[in-house]
């Protein structure tokens, strides 16, 4: 405690002079008034009774003197204007950055029922309560999303309650942005200081940002709130249809032991709330294991993987959020396939007809295709052009296209975007891209061709087949894929080989995997642009979608994918940032198919978010960057103390006045 007014050396003389004057006044003998009485003997008896209480009278006068001395001492104290030391030091502008990433939900050291975030909140509260009246503080939270918990303020009563609203998130701490914001918030203010409250379980980017902060011009301190590093997490979970068996599903799960001791866990997998698999896994420290459940019924769409203890307990293995993962197998409708043919190639038609689970086949003539009289051509997903000796249409449809011998007519320009290089008599198929899905399990060796055309490719084209080094089958990617074969199957023996129906089947499956419904999961955290068509929603006429997920409802402006959030759609795409793992439902608000919806699975995809090891142990922080013990709270509320002292003086004067009139001190 220090004096901001008169110093102690100046107050002592004042107190001594005032105390002496009060004492002299109390030492003066009271002169009694003389009264003539008719009978002296009666008053002598009263006088004798008063003498018996003389000691008590002296004591009352002593108490009255002490009370007056106390009033004098308090007045002198008010003149000194006492203040705590924290009020007299230079002002501080403090930015508290609290790590609210997924690891902060882990248990604290020596306090199993307390999370690391609880310790961080406790430390932040101590820092706030220790601020002086001239100090300012701002509180920021750093997870996958940056947030301002409390703006710059000097009022602890408005800041401390907001700390209790902090909860652990599900992603990693975005410390680079949080520390940049903290620097901007206090960098230009008096006494800037940054305090980072974290458990040290950070990704390399956050560690580098923290190192740069501690070496920067603004004093930056780190207070660790760590705990045990034991944790087991599901680090990968996916479900897919078999490429050659649409009616069956395969589920892949990866479980990793991120701790330092071996563990035994039970992996349970559910499909639409029904158990479909159970595995017991023994995991050494740092090891991972993959489990595959094969040939599951494709009628199921929602899959959930959970980790449990051997005794059936579902207590978390360190962090609760990474003991569960989600996957969605989207429904797939058959592709609308149009075959433009003159009817002379029954081999191609037969190869497409056997794919009845994959395609809805419509055949039209080349003339109908040129005249555009069939609406099926405009609505098709895939169009095969096998027109024989007929002429191709002048423009290609807005769909995936497969063309056979597009440059057959020498005197007419074909609509094929892939330019012709040269005509070849009796070409030999000498090379093929065996790793490409279109040629999976296909061998084109010794195929006899009567004639063919090679192509002039551009960067980005994928050459499927070559003849003596020149491309004769090319795939060009774009909004839709185009596959051009530089020969007519009718002028070859390819339709007589098993390779022909396999190529047709591979083409359909390749296009199928580019169609709606194959983007059924996204990782948690980052903003992502999603196409409605990839999710399984027709984008035509849709300007808004709603997203319903496991998170709390918001207005959708943050793009966090919470329940009831609404997002604008531009050119069939919208941006989503899912911050809570689980199942999300995307519903079209308007358009011809308003009300139709699809599902999306969101999981934590980063191992750093599940690793509870302290990454700062390997980082040698400067001694000045290691935060000291938490400060003591300010002993007194803000405001001048002399006013409080004067209130006490007024109370004592009122007490003296009341005691005098009640004849207690006289």
Place of tokens 């089947």: 505
Q: What is the mean pLDDT of residues 551-560?
A: 45
Whether 483 and 391 share a structural domain: yes
Residue from 563, 528, 523, 531 nearest 547 by CA: 563
Answer whether residue 33 shows pLDDT above 70: no
Query: What pLDDT, in 10s, does the model give residues 147-172?
Result: 899 998 888 888 889 998 898 888 88
Q: Extract the tokens encoding 428.
A: 């030999």
Looking at the fold, whether 425 and 508 belong to one and the same domain comes out as yes
Q: Number of helices and strands (H, E) in the chain?
A: 14, 33
Residue where a domain stops, chosen among 482, 512, 542: 512
- As given in the structure block, the two tokens for residue 119 are 């310790």
State the Cα–Cα distance between residues 257 and 86, nearest whole angstrom: 48
Kindly state whether residues 141 and 165 are assigned to the same domain: yes
Beta strands 573-576 and 528-531 are antiparallel
Domain around 649? 2-84+642-661
Beta bridge partners of 283: 263
Instruction: Classify residue 666: in a domain, yes or no.
Output: no
Last residue within a domain, chosen from 308, 328, 348: 328
In a domain, 44, yes or no: yes
Mean pLDDT throughout 530-550?
85
Nearest-angstrom CA–CA distance, 336 and 153: 63
d(CA 273, CA 291): 20
What CATH number has the domain bearing residue 150?
A: 3.40.50.410
Q: Do residues 268 and 286 share a domain?
A: yes
In angstroms, the CA 59 to CA 621 distance is 66
Q: Is 633 part of any domain?
A: no
CATH number of the domain that residue 244 is part of:
2.60.40.10
Same domain, 360 and 471: yes
What is the pLDDT at residue 557? 39
Give the per-residue pLDDT at 46: 57
330-341 pLDDT tens trace: 766 778 899 999
Closest CA to 129 of 585, 637, 483, 492: 637
Instruction: Indicate whether 631 belongs to any domain.
Output: no
- Residues 6+ positions from 314 with CB-CB distance below 8 Å: 306, 308, 323
* Number of domain units in the chain: 5
Local structure of residue 626 (DSSP, 8 states): B
Where is the domain boundary, 452, 487, 512?
512
pLDDT digits (tens, 9 = 90+) for 249-264: 888 899 999 999 999 9
Q: Are 350 and 436 in a shared domain? A: yes
**Count of residues in the chain:** 666
The CATH number of the domain holding residue 582 is 2.60.40
Do residues 530 and 451 share a domain?
Answer: no
Residue 354, domain CATH: 3.40.50.880
609 assigned to some structural domain: no
The reply to whether 33 and 51 lie within a common domain is yes
Q: What's the maximum distance between 2 C-alpha atoms anywhere in the chain?
A: 161
- Residue 180 in this model has a pLDDT that exceeds 90: yes
Q: For residue 489, which phi and psi values (nearest 5 degrees)?
A: -55, -30
Q: Check residues 380 and 662 and name the one with the higher pLDDT.
A: 380
Q: Are residues 498 and 540 in the same domain?
A: no
Is 635 inside a domain boundary? no
Residue 630 domain-assigned (yes or no): no
Cα torsion through 543, 544, 545, 546, rounded to 10: -170
Both 157 and 79 in one domain: the answer is no
Least Cα distance to 561 among 212, 171, 89, 65 occurs for 171
Lowest mean pLDDT among 211-220, 485-494, 544-553, 574-583: 544-553
What is the average pLDDT value for the chain, to the nearest integer?
83
Report d(CA 410, CA 407) in Å as an integer.
7
The model's pTM is 0.65
Tokens of 658: 């009341």
Per-residue CA distances from 220 to 76, 148, 476, 623 (Å): 42, 18, 54, 11
Same domain for 484 and 356, yes or no, is: yes
Per-residue pLDDT for 562 more than 50? no
Same domain, residue pair 388 and 494: yes
Inform me whether the pLDDT recorded for 181 exceeds 90: yes
Question: What share of the chain in percent tops pLDDT 70?
Answer: 84
- The pLDDT tens digits for 67-76 are 777 877 877 7
Cα 380 to its chain centre, rounded Å, is 39
Whether 256 is covered by a domain: the verdict is yes
Count CB-CB contacts under 10 A for residue 658. Answer: 11
Banded model confidence at residue 313, pLDDT cuts 50, 70, 90: confident
Contact of 328 with 302, CB cutoff 8 Å: yes
């Amino acid at each position: 405690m220090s004096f901001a007014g008169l110093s102690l050396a100046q107050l002592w003389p004042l107190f001594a002079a005032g105390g002496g004057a009060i004492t002299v006044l109390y030492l003066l003998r009271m002169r009694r008034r003389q009264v003539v009485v008719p009978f002296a003997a009666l008053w002598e008896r009263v006088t004798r009774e008063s003498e018996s209480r003389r000691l008590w009278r002296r004591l009352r006068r002593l108490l009255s003197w002490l009370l007056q001395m106390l009033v004098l001492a308090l007045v002198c104290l008010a003149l000194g204007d006492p203040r705590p030391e924290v009020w007299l030091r230079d002002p501080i502008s403090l930015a508290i950055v609290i790590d609210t990433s997924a690891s902060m939900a882990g248990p604290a050291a020596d306090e199993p029922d307390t999370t690391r975030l609880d310790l961080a909140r406790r430390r932040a509260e101590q820092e706030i309560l220790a601020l002086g009246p001239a100090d300012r503080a701002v509180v920021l939270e750093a997870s996958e999303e940056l947030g301002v918990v409390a703006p710059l303020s000097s009022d602890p009563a408005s800041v401390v309650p907001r700390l209790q609203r902090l909860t652990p998130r599900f992603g990693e701490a975005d410390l680079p942005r949080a520390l940049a914001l903290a620097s901007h918030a206090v960098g230009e203010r008096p006494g800037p200081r940054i305090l980072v409250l974290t458990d040290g379980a950070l990704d390399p980017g956050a560690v580098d940002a923290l190192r740069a902060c501690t070496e920067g011009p603004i004093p930056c301190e780190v207070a660790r709130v760590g705990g045990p590093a034991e944790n087991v997490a599901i680090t990968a979970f996916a479900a897919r249809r078999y490429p050659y068996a649409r009616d069956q599903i395969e589920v892949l799960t990866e479980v990793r032991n991120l701790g330092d001791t071996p563990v035994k866990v039970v992996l349970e997998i559910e499909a639409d709330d029904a158990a479909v698999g159970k595995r017991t896994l023994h995991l050494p420290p740092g090891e991972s294991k993959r489990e595959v459940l094969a040939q599951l019924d494709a009628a199921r769409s929602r899959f959930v993987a959970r980790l449990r203890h051997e005794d059936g307990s579902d207590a978390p293995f360190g962090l609760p959020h990474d003991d569960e993962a989600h996957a969605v197998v989207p429904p797939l409708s058959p592709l609308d396939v149009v075959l433009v043919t003159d009817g002379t190639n029954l081999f191609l038609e037969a190869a497409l007809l056997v794919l009845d689970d994959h395609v809805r086949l419509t055949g039209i003539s080349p003339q109908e295709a040129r005249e555009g009289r069939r609406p099926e051509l405009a609505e098709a997903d895939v169009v095969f052009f096998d027109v024989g000796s007929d002429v191709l249409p002048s423009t290609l449809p807005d769909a995936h296209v497969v063309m056979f011998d597009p440059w057959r007519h020498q005197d007419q320009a074909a609509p094929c975007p892939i330019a012709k290089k040269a005509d070849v008599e009796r070409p030999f198929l000498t090379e093929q891209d065996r790793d490409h899905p279109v040629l999976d399990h296909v061998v084109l060796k010794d195929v006899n061709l009567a004639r063919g055309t090679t192509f002039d490719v551009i960067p980005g084209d994928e050459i499927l087949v070559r003849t003596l080094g020149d491309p004769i089958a090319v795939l060009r990617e774009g909004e839709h894929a185009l596959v051009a074969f530089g020969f007519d199957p009718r002028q070859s023996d390819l339709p007589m080989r098993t390779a022909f129906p396999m190529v047709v089947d591979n083409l359909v499956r390749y296009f199928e995997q580019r169609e709606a419904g194959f983007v059924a999961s996204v990782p948690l955290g980052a903003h992502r642009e999603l196409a409605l068509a990839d999710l399984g929603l027709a984008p035509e006429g849709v300007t808004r979608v709603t997203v319903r997920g496991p998170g709390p409802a918001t207005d959708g402006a943050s793009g966090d994918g919470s329940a009831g959030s609404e997002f604008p759609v531009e050119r069939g795409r919208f941006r989503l940032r899912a911050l809570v793992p689980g199942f999300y439902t995307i519903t079209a608000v308007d358009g011809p198919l308003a009300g139709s919806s699809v599902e999306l699975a969101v999981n934590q995809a980063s191992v750093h978010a599940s690793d509870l090891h302290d990454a700062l142990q390997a980082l040698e922080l400067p001694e000045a960057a290691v935060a000291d013990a938490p400060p003591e709270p300010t002993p007194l509320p803000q405001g001048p103390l002399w006013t409080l002292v004067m209130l006490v003086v007024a109370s004592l004067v009122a007490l003296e006045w009341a005691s005098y009139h009640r004849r207690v001190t006289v």
